[in-house]
Amino acid sequence: MRNPGVFIGGEWLDSPNSIENINPSDTQDIVGTFQLATEQQMRDAVGSARAAAAGWASTTTQARSDILSRAAQEMLARKDSLAELVCREAGKTRAEGVGEVVRAAQVLNFFAGEAVRYGGENIPSVRPNISVQVSREALGVVTVITPWNFPIAIAAWKIGPALAFGNTVVFKPSEYTPAIACELANIFSRSGLPAGVLNVVVGDGVTAGETLLENVDAVSFTGSVGTGHKIAQKTVAGMIRVQLEMGGKNPLLVLNDADLPTAVECAVNGAFFGAGQRCTASSRIIVAEGIHDRFVDALNERMSKLTVGPALNSGVDIGPVINQTQLDKCRGYIEVGRREGAELLRGGGQLQGETPGYFLDPALFVGGVNSMRINQEEIFGPVACVIKVADYEEGLNVANDTPFGLSAGICTQSISVANHFRNNIKSGLAMVNLPTAGLDYHVPFGGRKASSYGPREQGRYAVDFYTITKTSYVSY
């Protein structure tokens, strides 16, 4: 039996094409065979969202808020089973899966509030007897394209504000995580979302690129730099509003006065949890020479206690990487690092789990220099490199010497150094004595340089992307 994958105008439709969804912790476990949207169906999804746009934009903010709250409530009530699905298809541990589902629900609850809270401004005119009002209106149709690494949270933090502010959506999830995306569509339908307001097209990127980037009003994308650039070219050429969240090469700076256990936890969490498959992962661990050897020994020791294996087994800290391609990519970079002259202190080999899966022993390089490819290019796996520096000044320069600028962390006990870092690091997120990954759900998220393009996601700032302002003047 084939699973659905194409949801248009409130109906699950059949397609001649499908894809097998395989559990990366156990390649014998087929999560399902999901239908893949054809090119015509993708175009139809845009048409369906367009047809529903005016009606949805004119529903009351209360109605939109209620639907988002009901969806959040169902997610929380079913968090364990939803998390299990996320874990099976994305290779997350149970704690990571539950955490992600809860976060998705919190995001929807937040935007349920924003739907009734967002407003405009009245500004005095510079001329007599005129009033000026600045208000916000829905854009129309938004294409949402999401990756497999946070398959429900990222979907929620794009679809939530899109719907809250009166837009209709065409949602293209990663073809590696279709199951939870289809669940999300059903949850929204049960919550009362009218037909056509949210359309789902599981499908390949090439077809999506040809169909979902035209006749829409905005595109929100999270994924690779390469795909992001293609989307940018097409949307900008079509004068379509676009928001891109792409890669990172995030530094964690450990200074001589750092609390050692805190620094080690920040490094382990930031670099290896989620199998390093987070755009916010710390992949460059920049360590001052006075603490370097103690830090490396402590990190090595801590890593020896990490359990890697089938993600849903109890006691597992780190699950598999998502697929063979990603495993090969990580192993390829480990070879590159060796050839470049970094020392592989531990890990890097494929592990045999109790089930056949894509398990990679977390890899730690030491003796790296920042110009090495392993320190410049995003690997997106459990691979990190320690770079030794003389002091904070050199560390900050190294931290900023990257094409990316998403997240950056520092471990220090000095308030003045921490503040200098917050003011001078060229990133969208700065963390003091915290891992570079793992964020609150109600504040803006995004980066600089090659990491991000367009307005911020999440929190109150999301309204800037998902609405257009209107300035109206009245003479009285």
Residue 389 structure tokens: 């520096």
Least distance from ligand UN1 to the Cβ atom of residue 133, Å: 35
Q: Taking CB under 6 A as the rule, does residue 231 contact ligand UN1?
A: no
CB of 100 to ligand UN1, least distance (A): 9
Kindly tell me which of 154 and 288 has the beta carbon lying closer to ligand UN1. 154
Q: With binding defined as CB under 6 A, does residue 98 bind ligand UN1?
A: no
For ligand UN1, give the closer residue by CB, 104 or 138.
104
Separation between Cα atoms, residue 297 and residue 237, nearest integer Å? 52
Which member of 245, 378, 385, 411 is catalytic? 245
Separation of first and last alpha carbons in the chain: 66
Instruction: By CB under 6 A, tell whether 48 contacts ligand UN1.
Output: no
> Is residue 96 near ligand UN1 by the rule CB under 6 A?
no
Binding to ligand UN1 (CB under 6 A) within 275-314 occurs at 278-280
Q: Min. distance of Cβ 96 from ligand UN1 in angstroms? A: 10
Longest Cα separation, the chain: 78
**Is the CB of residue 242 less than 8 Å from the CB of residue 236?**
yes
**437 sits near ligand UN1 (criterion: CB under 6 A):** yes
Listed residue (262, 251, 257) closest to 291, CA to CA: 257
The reply to whether 99 sits near ligand UN1 by the rule CB under 6 A is no
User: Least distance to ligand UN1 from the beta carbon of 150, Å?
Assistant: 5
Residue 438 binds ligand UN1 (CB under 6 A): yes
Q: Which of 279, 330, 385, 411 is catalytic?
A: 279
Task: Select the residue interacting with ligand UN1 from 15, 65, 109, 222 (CB under 6 A).
Answer: 222
> Contact at 8 Å (CB) between 145 and 55?
no
Q: Which residues of 178-213 are buried (b: 16+ CB within 10 A; e: fewer)?
A: bbbbbbbbebbbebebbbbbbbbbbbebebbbebbb
User: Would you give the DSSP letter of residue 445?
Assistant: B
Does the footprint of ligand UN1 cover residue 405 (CB under 6 A)? no
Q: How many chain residues bind ligand UN1 (CB under 6 A)?
A: 12
**Strand ranges, E, within 224-299:** 241-245, 250-254, 282-288
The angle at the Cα of 290, spanning 284 to 294, to the nearest 5 degrees, equals: 75
Least separation in angstroms between CB 423 and ligand UN1: 22
Binding segment (CB under 6 A) for ligand UN1, from list 11-19, 111-119, 290-298, 434-442: 434-442
Q: Is 147 in the site for ligand UN1 (CB under 6 A)?
A: yes
Site membership for ligand UN1, residue 93 (CB under 6 A): no
Cβ–Cβ < 8 Å for 429, 447: yes
Taking the complex as a whole, the smallest distance from the CB of residue 362 to ligand UN1 amounts, in Å, to 17
Distance CA 247, CA 281 (A): 10
Give the shortest CB-400-to-ligand UN1 separation in angstroms: 20
Cα angle 409-412-415, degrees, rounded to a multiple of 5: 100
The answer to whether 153 and 36 have CB atoms below 8 angstroms apart is no
245 is catalytic: yes
Which region among 74-82, 120-128, 188-196, 431-439 touches ligand UN1 (by CB under 6 A)? 431-439
For residue 187 the two structure tokens come to 């949850």
Name which position in 69, 149, 207, 412 contacts ligand UN1 (CB under 6 A). Answer: 149
For residue 262, give the 3-state DSSP assignment.
helix
Is residue 197 within 8 A of residue 56, CB to CB? The reply is: yes
Q: Which residue numbers are catalytic? A: 245, 279
Q: What residues line the site for ligand UN1 (CB under 6 A)?
A: 147, 149-150, 154, 222, 245, 278-280, 437-439
